Structure 1
Amino acid sequence: MDVRTQNKWDRASRTYDFFAAVDNRRLGGEKQRLLARVQGKTLHVAAGTGNDFKFLPPGADIVSIDISPKMLERAKLKAANYEGSIELREADVCSLDYPEATFDTVATVFTFCSVPKPIAGLRELYRVLKPGGQILMMEHVRGSAIGPVGVMLDLMTPLTRKFGPELNRETVGNVQKAGFRLRRVENIYLDVVKTIEAIKDRS
């Protein structure tokens, strides 16, 4: 378990709902559209305080993990109110206690801008996903279409990583490096918030 990351998100749990509400006003519809594609047994990475549970389709079979016990404590009530099954578990995405090929779907929302070793985490998700399974992601990434935006995010990241996300991750490329085949990449806000859908090919 990455204790430093755990402590950071334990501290952030106190104000997480405020910032999540801002994201919901701008992007709630996009989150719901993405998560509507959840199928089968699903691993939801980064439960946070449970903010995104309301965007999951009813009746799903979800395991929702987070590295922060304080986040999970706040997520319990929202999990109990979900019209389906959500099991909360404390876990580090870079070291998952699941056998290979356990899940049909993996879903992440604004997660891999905060995982210290993103490719290692994505490779773990690839491992626990069944062949033919899908990963659904909405992520902050480094913008490249508008040059000054990418430079600005590079400059901001040393500050933002102290209390939350890194804003200049090359997440689309990292997904491919982890072994996934891209199915769809869509710009949601400029080119700094994207949805990424990818597949673990059948061998």
Structure 2
Amino acid sequence: MKELKNERTEFTRNRYNTVSTIYDVMEWPVEHLWYKKWRQKLWQQIHGPKVLEIGVGTGKNIPYYPKEIELTGIDLSSGMLKRAKGLLKDKRKNHVTLKEMDAQDMDFPDNHFKEMVATFVFCSVPDPVLGLKEALRVTKPGGKLHLLEHMKPEHSFLASLMETLDTPIHYLSGVHIARQTVANVEKAGWSIEKVQDLTAKGIFKKIEASKPH
């Protein structure tokens, strides 16, 4: 089982390293149509003081980081992280530290962060429940989880279509389009506080959860 997890993790790492130089171009339409405004609103709710961003990617959230927090960002892909570090240098954000790290096996102590943020990340973490359990472990009791995610909708036709397309899309991009992330958050032990549909059919959602005391 561990070897299979490692194989899946390396597959995902390699896919994102491969597309890192063109990733922003690939996501440009959805980023400017939807993601950008959702990111901005989400970060207005983050107060820290210690915050972890899981899956920092090419750094699309960096412009919205609040100045008053102490932020650590991690990503599995060195290629994606290289681009984020370049953007971070331009933004001169001295309160931010970026590290290459696997969300499924974090090198942080228990109960370390007050808030967790991930935007469109748990669609690609090889074992999303394991990643969410790790996030729970390193969050302080009462700490918050903030997610923006796309996932399998409840509508039967769309759900069936996305399940059919999930495997080939994952092979090409490293992304799963038919995940059930709300259920995965609960399975990992988080207490769901709010789930908000961001688009029709419930494909895009904002999820807020907390670590039980």
Partner of 1:131 in structure 2?
A: 141
Task: Give the aligned partner of residue 78 of structure 2.
Answer: 69
1:45 and 2:54 aligned: yes
TM-score, L = length of structure 2: 0.90
RMSD: 1.4
Q: Distance in 1 between matches of 2:208 and 2:81?
A: 26
C-alpha contact (below 8 Å) 1:59/1:83 kept by paired residues: no
Percent sequence identity over aligned pairs = 30
SS of match in other structure, 1:167: coil
Cα deviation for residue 83 of structure 1 reads 4.3
Question: How many residues of Structure 1 are paired with residues of Structure 2 in the alignment?
Answer: 201
Structure 1 equivalent of residue 41 of structure 2 = 33
| CA positional deviation for 1:187 | 0.5
Aligned match of 2:101:
91
Write the distance in 2 (CA, Å) between the matches of 1:56 and 1:140. Answer: 22
C-alpha separation between the residues in 1 aligned to 2:92 and 2:56? 13
> Which whole-Å CA distance do the structure 2 matches of 1:160 and 1:56 have between them?
31
* Greater mean deviation of Cα atoms: 95-104 or 44-53: 44-53
How far residue 37 of structure 1 moved from its aligned partner, in angstroms, is 1.4
Corresponding residue to 1:164 among 159, 174, 184: 174
Q: Any gaps of 5 or more consecutive residues in structure 1? A: none
- Which shows bigger deviation, 37-46 or 80-89? 80-89
**Which deviates the most, 5-14 or 130-139?**
5-14
Gaps of 5+ in 2: 1-5
Structure with the higher helix share, 1 or 2: 2
User: Under a length normalisation based on structure 1, what TM-score does the superposition of the two structures give?
Assistant: 0.94
Question: Counterparts of 2:37 and 2:143 in 1: how far apart (Å)?
Answer: 24
